[in-house]
Structure 1
Amino acid sequence: MGHREDLLAGAKQCLVDKGFVRTTARDIVKASGTNLASIGYHYGSKDALLTQAFIELIQEWGEGFQGGLGGAGGSLERFRAVWDGVLSQQADGGPIWAASLEVALSGDRLPELRSLLATSQGEGRKGIIAMFTGRPEEELTERDVRTLGAFYQALLNGLMIHWIFDPDSAATAEEFTEGMRQAAEGISRAGGGEAEGDEGV
């Protein structure tokens, strides 16, 4: 590998071991066997490098279970299959989600990181929609990303926070799916039509 790939691998390891806040440029250099100048040359800044490392860690985490997803896209069977996969990867994914929480709770202390991660959310939401629905990412609209993508992302983030905070009381995939079934059934019984302002969507 060249310095660019070595830096990325070192940054991934640092994120898992130390998270965003405690990782320094020197930590990354030590883990990658490179030098400080390489970070600026290849990535522009330590924060940009850590953001890229985080994005790739999330992609790798998702790829660890997506291949075996069962059920038709959009079905409760697919919904449960996704959560089964998510929770089966919890041991590996926990440090990644904890690192993202650090940034979310950092206020204005990590402005570049917050900005870079926020910019990457659109692509992340597309991947989540594709996972749950089976729809190709290239067919998704901005409206899809801001509605369905935001919904699935909130579910994912919420469950991960619950597992980090108290894994013993966190929902199983079966319980989470049953909760969704009950919520959808309640909306259907109540005649859940289009929300105000959503006509024609």
Structure 2
Amino acid sequence: MGHREDLLEGAKRCLLEKGFLRTTARDIVKESGTNLASIGYHYGSKDALLVQAYVSLIEGVGERFDPAFGVEFTQPPGSPERFQEVWATVIRTVPESRAVWMLSFELMFQDERMAEVRKLLAEAQREGRSGLVSLFSGVPEADLTEEDVETEGRFYMTLLNGLMVQWLFDPDSATTAEQLTEGLRRIVDAAGRNS
């Protein structure tokens, strides 16, 4: 590995151990075995490096429930059974990805002190929405429309964030995939009766 990769791996370890706000450039240098000048040379700034490290961590979590990385879903795309199967798979990843989700929430609740970082992360959110739509619908991300991503993607991202809050706060009382699916069924049934 070169300095660029060493820095990224060191930054990921620092994020998981210390979080975004408490990680210093010196922490990253110590963890990566590089030097301070390498951060600026390869990433432009410590914050840009930490954003890249965070995105890499999130992508790693996503790979745990992504068919592109060998996860197989057996239920038909777009069905309630697929809805439940995907959420069950996502929930199974929570114990091993807890530190990454905690980091996500640390970043979400920062104010304008991190405006540039928040901007970069907001751009990454769109990719996350697109990936979620693909998981549930079976449609490759490249074939999704803007409307798919901006409607269904936002719906799934909202569910994902709410579900993660519950699982991080109190796993014993958190919503299960079965409960989420039954709630969806009831909402769809009620909407059908009232239309």
For residue 114 of structure 2, what is the amino acid of its counterpart?
L
Gaps of 5+ in 2: none
For residue 89 of structure 1, what is the amino acid of its counterpart?
T
How far apart are the structure 1 equivalents of 2:19 and 2:96? 14
Aligned partner (choices 131, 134, 140) of residue 130 of structure 1: 134
Task: Check the 8 A contact 1:70/1:77 in 2, yes or no.
Answer: no
After superposing on structure 2, the runs of 4+ consecutive aligned residues of structure 1 that deviate more than 2 Å are: none
Q: Which whole-Å deviations, capped at 9, do the CAs of 1:96-131 have from their partners, x for residues lacking one? A: 121111121111121121111011111111111111
What is the SS of the residue equivalent to 2:116?
helix
Aligned partner (choices 87, 97, 116) of residue 120 of structure 2: 116
Percent identity over paired residues: 56
Deviation at 1:69, TM superposition (A): 2.0
Deviation at 1:166, TM superposition (A): 1.8
For residue 101 of structure 1, what is the amino acid of its counterpart?
F
For residue 7 of structure 1, what is the amino acid of its counterpart?
L
Aligned partner (choices 171, 182, 194) of residue 190 of structure 1: 194
Specify the alignment match of 2:78 in structure 1.
74
How far apart are the structure 2 equivalents of 1:41 and 1:122? 28
How far apart are the structure 2 equivalents of 1:99 and 1:88? 18
Specify the alignment match of 2:43 in structure 1.
43
Specify the alignment match of 2:170 in structure 1.
166
Deviation at 1:11, TM superposition (A): 1.4
How far apart are the structure 2 equivalents of 1:128 and 1:86? 11
Deviation at 1:5, TM superposition (A): 0.9
Specify the alignment match of 2:23 in structure 1.
23
What is the SS of the residue equivalent to 1:20?
coil
Task: Check the 8 A contact 1:94/1:160 in 2, yes or no.
Answer: no
Deviation at 1:17, TM superposition (A): 1.5
Task: Report the TM-score, using the length of structure 1 for normalisation.
Answer: 0.90
Aligned partner (choices 162, 179, 183) of residue 179 of structure 1: 183
Deviation at 1:18, TM superposition (A): 1.7
Give the aligned length. 191
Specify the alignment match of 1:104 in structure 2.
108
Distance of aligned partners of 1:70 and 1:18 in 2 relative to their CA distance in 1, 3 Å threshold: farther
For residue 18 of structure 1, what is the amino acid of its counterpart?
K
Task: Report the TM-score, using the length of structure 2 for normalisation.
Answer: 0.92
For residue 28 of structure 2, what is the amino acid of its counterpart?
I
Deviation at 1:65, TM superposition (A): 2.8
How far apart are the structure 2 equivalents of 1:35 and 1:83? 42
How far apart are the structure 1 equivalents of 2:117 and 2:44? 13
Answer yes or no: is 1:52 the counterpart of 2:56. Answer: no
CA RMSD in angstroms comes to 1.3
Q: Which whole-Å deviations, capped at 9, do the CAs of 1:163-185 have from their partners, x for residues lacking one? A: 11222210111112111221222
For residue 105 of structure 1, what is the amino acid of its counterpart?
F
Q: Which whole-Å deviations, capped at 9, do the CAs of 1:26-71 have from their partners, x for residues lacking one? A: 1111221111111111111111111111212122112123312221
What is the SS of the residue equivalent to 1:65?
coil
Specify the alignment match of 1:64 in structure 2.
64
Aligned partner (choices 83, 90, 100) of residue 94 of structure 2: 90
What is the SS of the residue equivalent to 1:60?
helix
64-73 or 125-134, which moves further after superposition? 64-73
